Amino acid sequence: MALRKRLKPARPPRPARRLPQALIIGVRKCGTRALLEMLYLHPMVQKASGEVHFFDRDENYALGLDWYRSKMPPSFRGQITIEKSPSYFVTPEVDIYRHVISINYLIIVESNLEDVNENKVPERVRAMNSSVRLLLIVREPVTRAISDYTQLRSRATPSAPAHALSSGHTPHQVPDSAKPFEHLAISPDGSINVAYRPIAISLYHAYLLRWLEVFPREQILVVNGDQLIEDPVPQLRRIEKFLGLEHKIGRKNFYFNETKGFYCLRNDTTDKCLRETKGRKHPRVDPAVVTKLRKFFIQHNQRFYDLVGEDLGWPE
Ligand code: A3P
């Protein structure tokens, strides 16, 4: 009997939906989609196809982990499932704005989270899996802000003024999406408009502080989004190592598409570029405004470098 059992053929491995072991938590417009698609080139990686928004939307979180699991792709044991929802990093934003006190160019972010954070994304993530690996992709903050603005503007429909009217605007009010970046990023008194979302989200250190109160630094890998654009392979090597994966993604997986101006992806069966919404042409921004913003970000970037223990070398 025992012999018969031993001779029984091994069951073929069966795929199952599993909770993610790694998350891309942000930052929006820093290459989160490119990063996910690139990692998916690895045979041991599975990805959730859309942004699930489980941890940042109360109505989804209320549906529980079984619901979240049902949104994951089938995977084999040993494979890593990755989900990305860039708003995880910044939620809740309003509370961060409330705690940003602007003194000329110096901004102090108070990190008293006990009373401000009703929607605790990092805590929720930890409750799912305290050893989850977190990927945070960042990009030079001013470029990121302009990319964010470009996206918001492109999403505004030609009927935007009509919409503005129906939402109580006067006919003379121009919706934000139609205003030049310079007018949104800089207040009439010449100060930096930190309440403008594309600027606020680029204050990476303010958001990272919250995550570091919940997760040890080693559990968060900071991916350089500018370098991912320039030359993806070295960044991907770091990530493979961080995720405990064998090195599989290499130069053979990429080719530079001159028309798009970005690397496109290649596996054994297909070549694929990211959609046209990724890699948009940015509007020209007054160089004096770019310089002013870069100057404003110097000390914020330094705080971020201090938190992550690495100088990302963003221009000043
Ligand atoms: P732009 O459209 O401003 O150039 P996200 O996916 O987080 O929204 O990020 C979008 C950004 O990904 C794009 O911003 C683009 O610069 C960047 N990106 C990085 N690698 C890319 C690639 N291979 N193809 C297209 N976009 C890429």
Check residue 303 and give its pLDDT.
Answer: 97
Q: Is 143 in the pocket of ligand 1 (CB under 6 A)?
A: no
Position 286 in a domain: yes
Position 50 in a domain: yes
Position 256 in a domain: yes
Q: Is 235 in the pocket of ligand 1 (CB under 6 A)?
A: no
Q: What count of Cα atoms within 13 Å lies in the side-chain half-sphere of residue 62?
A: 3
Check residue 240 and give its pLDDT.
Answer: 98
Cβ-proximal residues to 47 (8 Å cutoff; 6+ apart), any chain: 36, 37, 39, 40, 73, 81, 82, 83, 84
Q: Binding site annotation covers 29? A: yes
- Owning domain of residue 227: 16-155+172-308
- Say if residue 311 is exposed, middle or buried (CB neighbours under 10 Å; 0-12, 13-18, 19+): exposed
Residue 159 pLDDT class (50, 70, 90 cuts): very low
Q: Return mean pLDDT, the chain.
A: 88
Average pLDDT over residues 235-245: 98
Average pLDDT over residues 25-31: 97
Q: Is 147 in the pocket of ligand 1 (CB under 6 A)?
A: yes
Mutate to test the pocket of ligand 1, among 24, 35, 229 (most ligand atoms within 8 A of CB): 229
Position 59 in a domain: yes
| Closest residue to atom 18 of ligand 1, CA basis | 31
Output helix, strand, coil percentages for the chain, rounded to the nearest 5: 40, 15, 45
CATH number at 217 reads 3.40.50.300
Question: Based on the structure, what is the number of domains in the chain?
Answer: 1
Q: Which helix (H) or strand (E) holds 149?
A: helix 141-155
Check residue 95 and give its pLDDT.
Answer: 56
Q: Is 280 in the pocket of ligand 1 (CB under 6 A)?
A: yes
Check residue 7 and give its pLDDT.
Answer: 65
Ligand 1, residue 146: give the atom nearest the CA. 3
| Closest residue to atom 20 of ligand 1, CA basis | 229
Ligand 1 center to 106 CA (angstroms): 30
Check residue 157 and give its pLDDT.
Answer: 54
Position 35 in a domain: yes
| Closest residue to atom 14 of ligand 1, CA basis | 279
Position 236 in a domain: yes
CA distance 204 to 198: 11
Ligand 1 center to 229 CA (angstroms): 8
Q: Does residue 165 have a pLDDT over 70?
A: no
Q: Does 29 participate in catalysis according to the annotation? A: yes
Check residue 110 and give its pLDDT.
Answer: 47
CA distance 266 to 41: 8
C-alpha distances (whole Å) from 95 to each of 25, 55, 138, 214 are 18, 17, 21, 17
Write the pLDDT tens digit of every residue in 77-128: 999 999 999 999 999 876 565 555 443 334 445 444 444 445 599 999 999 9
Average pLDDT over residues 17-38: 98
Q: Binding site annotation covers 284? A: no
Q: Which residue has 């209320």 as its token pair?
A: 62
Write the pLDDT tens digit of every residue in 167-211: 334 445 667 778 999 999 999 999 999 999 999 999 999 999 999
CA distance 167 to 173: 11
Write the pLDDT tens digit of every residue in 302-313: 999 999 999 999
Position 315 in a domain: no
5, 29, 120, 292: the catalytic one is 29
Position 190 in a domain: yes
Q: Is 265 in the pocket of ligand 1 (CB under 6 A)?
A: no
Q: Binding site annotation covers 30? A: yes
